[in-house]
């Protein structure tokens, strides 16, 4: 069975989208790096930590000292909305 290049790329994009659902910090880091390609790892980590929403997760299963941070991942969202709306 021969798979066309377009079909292969479409499958790879779908796989990346699927994996990003299971690796949220990596997906958020990728979104940040898309807008800041020269950002060093320390800056990316600091941005993901400081932009997280504090104390939104309610659970009695948290151990003392566990960070209660909800990941923010709308980096570059303005560009995506503008592109979706067209020129």
Quickly list DSSP for 12-81. Answer: HHHHHHHHHHH-HHHHHHHHHHHH-TT--HHHHHHHHHHTSEES----TTPPTT---EEPP--TTHHHHH
Largest CA distance in the chain: 55
Q: Is the pTM of this model over 0.75?
A: no
Tokens of 78: 């303005």
The model's pLDDT over 23-64, given as tens digits with 9 standing for 90+, comes to 667 778 888 888 888 999 999 889 988 888 888 878 788 788
């Amino acid at each position: 069975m021969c798979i066309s290049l377009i079909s292969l790329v479409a499958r790879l994009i779908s796989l990346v989208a699927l994996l990003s659902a299971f690796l949220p910090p990596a997906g958020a880091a990728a979104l940040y790096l898309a807008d800041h390609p020269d950002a060093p790892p320390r800056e990316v980590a600091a941005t993901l930590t400081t932009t997280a929403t504090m104390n939104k997760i309610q659970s009695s299963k948290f151990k003392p000292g566990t960070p209660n941070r909800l990941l923010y991942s709308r980096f570059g969202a303005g560009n995506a909305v503008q592109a979706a709306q067209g020129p």
